[in-house]
Structure 1
Amino acid sequence: MTLAPFASIAAETRGREHPHPGGETRGPRSPFQRDRDRIIHSTAFRRLRSKTQVFIAPDGDFYRTRLTHSLEVAQIGRVLARALALDEDLTEALCLAHDIGHPPFGHAGERALSEAMAHAGGYDHNAHAVRVVARLESPYCAHEGLNLTWEMLEGMAKHNGPVAAPNWALAEVDRAFPLALGQWPSLEAQVANLADDIAYDNHDIDDGLRSGFLDLDQLLELDFVADLWRRVEARFPNAPRERQLRELVRDQIGLMVNDVIATTADRAQGLASSEDVREAGRPTAAFSGAMATQERRLKTFLYDKLYYHEDQITTAERAREVVAKLFAAYSQDAETMPLHWRKALPEQEPERSRHICDFIAGMTDRYAIEQCARIYGRLPEGLSNV
């Protein structure tokens, strides 16, 4: 496929922090294909299968985790990239890696680490994702990190837009391998960010309805959702309710995807290179004004009815306490850490706290629960709300 002039060109990559002696020789893959494969083969990516998406440590097999969410984001991202003639491999890699910095228990765990790390530079899952792939995940003999391309690291660092005040983790990587943090990222990174929004806006509805936390009648108070629902009922009047609901979610994803394609193609007119995208001074990939308004209303609904549901808040607080207790235990007694982490524990601050944070952030929900039970003598209660 011929790429658009504003797409990222793999053959013109700005390279890797650690150049490969003799070039990249393992098979006929582009640099961005290698990035994608390195993410897929990483232990940090595999751990996403047991990290919270919406529901903490879910017992049911039907609910999404960070891993299944990331796969769904990648599918949407590839559709957008292909329609816009962008590099699909870079887009897919960014989608797969976008949540790789999340700690156990999702945002509840992130809040606990942010509080515990206040004296040591704080914690941010986006910055930690860059730290994971550039420093912590180190399967190679010649260097630390996965040694991803500049375009991949740039996209992970600022898929939400330019970063004016990077925290310590991102600043550390940026000093070694400058990522032009003040500019907009590639269009592939911008598309990956919107694919994330589309995926969780709609798939969280699916999980919320399945769990009973969301009620269809409440959802239909949103007029644009009600319009879609009436069309689904008209097309499939005799279908079971569960199938109609799945059709509703698919229809809404389709509307959002088509809206992004049309709006982005219009905003990209006149852009002659990926550098034009970075220097545009605004996002190039976007929802239309009308769809952006609807999407904000949908997010508000999800926060009100699902993410901030009373049961969710109670469970999230218990999860936050687990992470806080782990940080306190490891800080007070290094003997509570596994040997290989204990042997590498620095004596001085803030490096010591950051090392502990790295260990906890890499945990799955289940491993964090097991560690807390091992240290404190009993399993934490109330850590599954479905």
Structure 2
Amino acid sequence: MAHAAYASHPERSRGREFPMENALSRGPRSCYQRDRDRIIHSIAFRRLRYKTQVFVAPDGDQYRVRLTHSLEVAQIARVVARVLGLDEDLTEALALAHDIGHAPFGHAGEDALDGALNRHGGFDHNAHCLKVLMRLESPYCEHEGLNLTWETLEGLAKHNGPVTEPNWALAELDADYPLDLGTWPSLEAQVAALSDDIAYDNHDIDDGLRAGYLDLDELIAQPFVAAHWAEVERRYPDAPRDRQVAELIRSQIGFMVNDLIEETRSRCEGLDSVEAVRAAGQATAAFSPELAAKERSFKRFMYEKLYHHPMQIETARRARAVVAELYSAYSQEPVLLEDEWIDTLPRHEPGRSRHIACYIAGMTDRFALNCHEAIYGSSHESLSHV
């Protein structure tokens, strides 16, 4: 499918931080296809298999983790990109990579690292994503990082909109390779971000019901859900309840995708380049005002009933303790770090503390638990409660 005028065109890419000399020797791929492939082949992407999405270190294989969530986001994002005439490969790369910077135990781990680095600039998972891709994950002989295109890095840095106050990690990277942080990102990045919302708004329903944290009667009373559930019951009155729920989730995803496409298409009128998207002064990809209002209300419901469920809060407290205690141990005895991290440990602050935080941030849930047990002699297997 031909690219729309407002799409990112691979032949017009701003290039990479480090020029590539052998770009044509490894297959006929566009620059954005290469980015997607580099992300998929990275260690950081593989680690998402054991990083928290909603539930910490779940025992059940049926629950989503960061990896499966990222794949679901990519599937939704590609559909939207194709209909709107955007670059599908760039959109997919952004969707696959968007959670790479998360610490173990999700936002609980991030909060712990942010607190540990309070005097040294804090910790932000989005900025850490860029640090991983641009500096820490370095499989190439010629340069640091994965050396992704400017458009992929820009989209990851700004997928939620312009960044006016970047934290230390993003500020350092932007100084090395400016990403125009004050403008809106490409439509590919905006679509990937909203596809993330579509995925977790709906798939977290599935996981929350499966875990017993969400009550179906309360759920279907929500304006975001009620009409779709009524239609499911009308069409499939005798179907088993679990199949009705699966149909509800599919219905809602389809509705949100169609709404996003329609609203975004109307906002694209008059935009004749990706630079016009960046200079628009507002989001170009968006839900309709009616759906956006319902979605915000639904998020409040999900925070109250699922994300802030008493058992979730208690698990998050223990997870924060694991991360905080790991940080304390490595700070006091850096010899506990892996050899390559000891060899590159800065001698002075704030680099020293930030280095230790980066090491912990790269851990999976289970590796963090194993490291904690090896140091403190206590098991936190009880963190898993689903």
TM beyond 0.5: yes
Of residues 235-244 and 338-347 in structure 1, the stretch that sits farther from structure 2 once superposed is: 338-347
Matched, 1:76 2:70: no
Which ranges of structure 2 fall in alignment gaps of 5 or more residues? Answer: none
Structure 2 matches for 1:236-275, cutoff 5 A? 236-275=236-275
Task: Name 2:9's counterpart in structure 1.
Answer: 9
Task: Name 1:372's counterpart in structure 2.
Answer: 372
2:238 & 2:262 partners in 1: Cα distance? 34
Q: Deviations over 1:6-52 (max 9, x none)?
A: 00000000000000125443100000000000000000000000000
Task: Name 1:334's counterpart in structure 2.
Answer: 334
**Contact 1:44 1:100 (8 Å CA) reproduced:** yes
Structure 2 matches for 1:132-151, cutoff 5 A? 132-151=132-151
Structure 2 matches for 1:333-352, cutoff 5 A? 333-352=333-352
2:248 & 2:378 partners in 1: Cα distance? 43
**Contact 2:77 2:92 (8 Å CA) reproduced:** yes
Matched, 1:197 2:173: no
Assess, with a 3 A threshold, how the Cα gap between structure 1 residues 381 and 40 changes in structure 2: closer, same or farther: closer
Task: Name 2:355's counterpart in structure 1.
Answer: 355
**Contact 1:318 1:382 (8 Å CA) reproduced:** no
User: Deviation at 1:319?
Assistant: 0.3
User: Deviation at 1:380?
Assistant: 2.2
**Contact 1:326 1:372 (8 Å CA) reproduced:** yes
1:22 & 1:254 partners in 2: Cα distance? 42
Which ranges of structure 1 fall in alignment gaps of 5 or more residues? Answer: none
Which amino acid is 2:57 matched to?
A
**Contact 2:223 2:294 (8 Å CA) reproduced:** no
**Contact 2:159 2:192 (8 Å CA) reproduced:** yes
Which amino acid is 1:121 matched to?
G
TM-score, with structure 1 as normaliser: 0.99
**Contact 1:57 1:105 (8 Å CA) reproduced:** yes
**Contact 1:8 1:86 (8 Å CA) reproduced:** yes
Matched, 1:212 2:215: no
Which amino acid is 1:205 matched to?
I
Q: Secondary structure at the match of 2:371?
A: helix
2:284 & 2:121 partners in 1: Cα distance? 32
Please give the root-mean-square deviation of Cα atoms over the aligned residues, in Å. 0.8
User: Deviation at 1:223?
Assistant: 2.9
Task: Name 2:58's counterpart in structure 1.
Answer: 58
Q: Deviations over 1:86-128 (max 9, x none)?
A: 0000000000000000000000000000000111111000000
Structure 2 matches for 1:104-143, cutoff 5 A? 104-143=104-143
* Identity level (%): 65
- What is the count of residue pairs matched by the alignment? 386
Matched, 1:277 2:277: yes
Q: Deviations over 1:260-296 (max 9, x none)?
A: 0000000000000000000000000000000001110
Matched, 1:179 2:182: no
Task: Name 2:157's counterpart in structure 1.
Answer: 157
Which amino acid is 2:285 matched to?
A
2:102 & 2:214 partners in 1: Cα distance? 25
**Contact 2:224 2:298 (8 Å CA) reproduced:** no
Matched, 1:46 2:46: yes
**Contact 2:224 2:295 (8 Å CA) reproduced:** no
Structure 2 matches for 1:92-103, cutoff 5 A? 92-103=92-103
User: Deviation at 1:378?
Assistant: 1.4
